[in-house]
A and B are shown apart, each in its own frame.
Chain A
């Protein structure tokens, strides 16, 4: 460990804390329809798009109408992305002449990008054409993030509404989020990344003969424009198979820092947006504080764990830090930083091979996801996931002191708590059921790469990541080369893993989203009670501690038995398998 490594972590939190109120306040103004600076340029585009999509007088929607629009839009996105992938071979911008991925891989990939997950059972540079990367992957990174953003804003409106049941209009929110938030940030991000060295071209590969007379093929493409939105959108899919470990995606330590920052930027800013929308900035800071504290906690475990040699290195008589699967320009601090920000956020971008992390180091990305992706989490989904945990914490506190729980002056009643409870256990159930299913069938076992407890960890990681819409991977878990697609070396899908994983991603995305919308619908317009001396405040350090405890206890009770079989065994033993 180095002072510089810790300083980098401190700097990330400092910059994030400074940007959160700025960007959060801006997002608040965007969704209130106030004139922001960009509206002078993009105002006509926004009005034109809105008229085209939903007509000149968009009507307000209650939670059910909002949910229906969300689902229909996502369904159309799914179909379009699936068709783009399946017809890749006849589309333009395919300089390498890649074939179309088989149906199961296309299903998994479409589910992955529509659910804002970006799980990849394919290697981008060996499977997808530039057209699929641009019109498919890039577009749906934007759209799935914009859906999460719109839904989160609608849910917060429900929490804040003093009267009425209107949560906004999905189409208006979708377009505003894209034009004023995601696109401008992506433009800035991609230009910065190009300047640092990320490639951006429509040309195909470049063949070179190396200094010692060997041959190398540089795979190029529109990487920067995709990388920028992939780190901003909580999507995180790499242009290349190894994601940000590839220098063409993440060329310098500074680029790595900025990519790590971008993965948590919008989810963090939304806490400030939340505070402003409910009329108490302290409520937003309380959520931000909980998230930042848990992020720091994750770093404080993972960084020291990776700064030691792995059991395999020790057995081979080598000292030094665990460098297997890590890049020299990031070494341990940069690699751990993206591993933690990539999994605490719903993004999944990493700049090192997590499969080769130590037992303890590798359990941290898993634990980050097992909290239900609420440590910043995905764009939008992190905020409403956290709000469900807040209601659960309020309820538990209410039980302890024997008072009717209330939040923001609204009584939390049986209906909300039922929905919250289902939300808290649904995704963990999907994770555990799918993991057990995959481990108990021979089709599931074929995906495993490493022997011993690591093979179990790979399976658990795969379904934790997919059901929580993260997308990072213990990437040994892929299986075999798809026999129906001889041209595509990277298309290593197994039908079982593709289908089970695709299902996990879709359920893990839309069931919690609908539950949170239902809670918001139920809270919207509820009479507010004037807070008195007996009211439990939810913007204090004591409540933040209670919230951290609630999140941790729910995750621990659910997952400790599973974690013991994989990462914890590996932490406790020096054996090799």
Chain B
């Protein structure tokens, strides 16, 4: 029994050093050398400062000249990720979605008069799993294009072409749908310059 206990203690100590320090430190070393951009959070730099991560969604709610991210249950806080966890039959969830639909229509319908509640894309009125979903659906982006074009005084085809250029189809419909990265397309809008 005592010999077994000695074996166990030695095993845990040695293996902890191996798996808890050597392994993650070695992986960190390789990762920082070969893929330092990814390993450090895919940060986007602009004029010498970090404006975000291409993997992390931000709130653009204060500015109608930008594409809007999906709703967030965490206030877009990547240091405290959260989903709403509201159940499928939750009255609270129903009320939240109703509110988001109304807000979406209020924001977009002036520029896209054909828009009705049943045609609002589901991703635009549901909170994401992480609270920092960086993407929106192509349908959602194309609806918002009307507002962007009007607010920024751009022709609609220019905005739609920008969406097409920033549509990520690498998942090929197999591992996931086509998505539009909100931060990337908004940075591209700013690069065009017109406000």
Chain A residues packing against B (C-beta within 8 Å): 2-4, 7-8, 11, 49, 52-54, 68-69, 72-73, 75-77, 80, 123, 125-126, 134-136, 138-139, 142-143, 171, 174-175, 178, 183, 186-187, 190-191, 194-203, 205-206, 208-214, 216-220, 222, 224-226, 240-242, 245-248, 251-254, 256-257, 309-313, 315-331, 333-335, 351-353, 355-359, 361-362, 449-454, 457, 474-476, 489-490, 570, 573, 575-577
The 8 A-B pairs with the shortest beta carbon distances in the complex, nearest first, are: A253-B176, A253-B175, A245-B129, A454-B87, A320-B122, A353-B83, A476-B85, A253-B171
Cα distance A253–B177 in the bound complex, in angstroms: 9
Determine whether the beta carbon of A246 is less than 8 Å from that of B130: yes
A53 to B12 Cα, complex, angstroms: 9
Q: Are A202 and B28 in contact, CB atoms less than 8 angstroms apart?
A: yes
Q: Is there contact, CB below 8 Å, between B35 and A194?
A: yes
16 A–B pairs (Cβ distance < 8 Å), ordered by A: A69-B4, A191-B27, A206-B41, A210-B58, A245-B129, A248-B78, A313-B126, A329-B134, A335-B129, A353-B83, A355-B83, A454-B90, A570-B88, A576-B91, A577-B87, A577-B89
Expressed in whole angstroms, the minimum distance between the Cβ of A333 and any Cβ of chain B is 7
In Å, the complex CA distance between A253 and B28 comes to 23
Q: Which residue of B has the minimal Cβ distance to A202?
A: B28
Contact (Cβ within 8 A) A242 B89: no
Cross-chain contact B16 with A216 (CB below 8 angstroms): no
Taking CB as reference atom, which chain B residue is nearest A316? B97
When A and B form their complex, what is the total count of cross-chain residue pairs whose Cβ atoms lie within 8 Å?
392
Given pairs A222-B27, A334-B176, A359-B88, 19 additional interface contacts (CB within 8 A): A8-B174, A53-B11, A73-B8, A76-B8, A125-B80, A183-B23, A195-B38, A197-B55, A201-B28, A211-B52, A212-B62, A226-B24, A248-B56, A355-B83, A355-B85, A450-B90, A452-B87, A454-B89, A489-B80
Residue pair A211, B87 in contact (C-beta under 8 Å): no
Among B77, B81, B187, which residue has its beta carbon within 8 angstroms of that of A216? Answer: B77
A217–B176 CB distance below 8 A: no
B128 at the interface (CB under 8 A from A): yes
B89:A245 contact, CB within 8 angstroms: no
**B156-182 interface with A by 8 A CB criterion:** 170-177, 179
Collect the chain A residues with CB atoms within 8 Å of residue B32's CB.
Answer: 200-201
**A198 proximity list for chain B (CB < 8 A):** 38
Tell me, yes or no, whether B154 is within 8 Å of chain A by CB.
Answer: no
Q: Indicate if B132 sits at the interface (CB-CB under 8 A).
A: yes
Kindly provide the distance from the CB of B54 to the nearest chain A CB, expressed in whole angstroms. Answer: 8
- Chain B residues in contact with chain A, CB under 8 A? 1, 4-5, 7-12, 14-16, 19-21, 23-25, 27-28, 30-32, 34-35, 38-43, 49-53, 55-56, 58-63, 66, 70, 76-95, 97-98, 101, 117-123, 125-137, 170-177, 179, 183, 186-187, 190
On whether the beta carbons of B179 and A329 are closer than 8 Å, the reply is: yes
Most chain A beta-carbon contacts within 10 A, residue among B1, B4, B24, B76:
B24
Query: Known: A76-B9, A328-B128. Contact between A191 and B31, CB under 8 A?
Result: yes
Q: A134-B20, A216-B56, A326-B129 are in contact. Are A72 and B4 (CB under 8 A)?
A: yes
Nearest A residue to B38, CB-CB: A197
- Chain B residues, CB < 8 A from A577: 87, 89-91
**Complex Cα–Cα for A191 and B8 (A):** 30
Contact: B133 with A312, CB < 8 Å? no
**Interchain CB contact under 8 A, B175 and A334:** yes
Residue of A nearest to B122 (CB): A320
Q: Is the CB of A247 within 8 A of B27?
A: no
Interface centre among A175, A202, A248, A309 (most CB of B within 10 A): A248
B89 lies within 8 A of A316 (CB): no
- Asked whether, in the complex, the Cβ of B91 is within 8 Å of the Cβ of A319, the reply is no
Q: How far is the CA of A356 from the CA of B183 in the complex (A)?
A: 26
Residues of A within 8 A of B170 (CB): 252-254
Bound complex: CA of A32 vs CA of B93, how far in Å?
55
Which of B7, B61, B83, B122 sits near A356, CB closer than 8 Å? B83
Tell me, in angstroms, the Cα distance from A577 to B14 when the chains sit together: 53
> Are the C-beta atoms of B12 and A325 separated by less than 8 Å?
no
- Assuming the contacts A123-B80, A138-B20, A222-B24, asked whether A4 and B52 have C-beta atoms less than 8 A apart, the reply is no
List the A side residues contacting B80 at CB < 8 Å: 123, 125-126, 241, 489-490
Partner of B88, one of A209, A328, A356: A356
Measured CB to CB, the closest approach of chain B to A419, in angstroms, equals 24
Q: Which residue of B lies closest to A575 (CB)?
A: B89
Pick from B9, B52, B137, B175: contact of A328, CB under 8 Å: B137
Distance A203 CA – B36 CA, assembled complex (angstroms): 12
B4 lies within 8 A of A134 (CB): no
Contact of B81 among A245, A257, A331 (CB under 8 A): A245
Task: Evaluate contact between B89 and A353: CB separation under 8 angstroms.
Answer: no
Q: Are B53 and A218 in contact (CB under 8 A)?
A: yes
Q: Which of A8, A80, A125, A203 contacts B40 (CB 8 A)?
A: A203
- A218 B129 Cβ-Cβ under 8 A: no
B123 with A126: CB separation less than 8 A: no
Q: Are A312 and B89 in contact (CB under 8 A)?
A: yes
With A194-B38, A206-B43, A317-B117 already in contact, the answer to whether A247 and B15 are too (CB < 8 A) is no
In the assembly, what is the distance between CA of A351 and CA of B81, in Å? 12
The CA of A474 and the CA of B177, in the complex, are separated in Å by 25
The residue in chain A whose Cβ has the minimal distance to the Cβ of B118 is: A319
B83 — which chain A residues lie within 8 A by C-beta?
242, 245, 325, 352-353, 355-356, 475
Q: Report chain B residues within 8 Å CB of A362.
A: 88
Given known pairs A4-B172, A247-B130, the reply for A214 and B58 (CB within 8 Å) is yes
Contact A225 B24, beta carbon cutoff 8 Å: yes
Establish whether residues B82 and A326, one from each chain, have CB atoms under 8 Å apart when the complex forms: no
**Residue from B76, B97, B136, B171 within 8 A of A318 (CB atoms):** B97
Instruction: Give B117's nearest chain A residue, CB to CB.
Output: A317
Contact assessment for A245 and B128 in the assembled complex, using a CB-CB cutoff below 8 Å: yes
B11 and A73 form a contact (CB under 8 A): yes
Q: Which residues of A contact B51 (CB under 8 A)?
A: 208-211
CA distance A208 to B186 in the complex (A): 17
Residue of A nearest to B44 (CB): A208
Shortest C-beta distance, B26 to chain A (Å), equals 8
Closest CB of chain B to A147's CB: distance in Å? Answer: 11
Please name the residue on chain B nearest to A131 by beta carbon. Answer: B20
With A134-B21, A246-B130, A450-B90 already in contact, the answer to whether A328 and B97 are too (CB < 8 A) is: no
Which of B52, B84, B137, B176 interacts with A353 by CB under 8 Å?
Answer: B84
Contact A222 B129 (CB under 8 A): no
Is A318 touching B125 in the complex (CB atoms < 8 A)? Answer: yes
By the criterion CB–CB under 8 Å, are A248 and B20 in contact? no
Given A143-B15, A352-B129, also A358-B7 (CB < 8 A):
no
Are B88's CB and A218's CB within 8 A?
Answer: no
How near does chain B come to A399, taking the closest CB pair, in angstroms?
41
Return the chain A residue nearest B132 by Cβ.
A247
Contacts of B9 in A (CB 8 A): 76
The reply to whether A325 and B127 contact each other, CB–CB distance below 8 Å, is: yes
Is the CB–CB distance between B16 and A322 below 8 Å? no
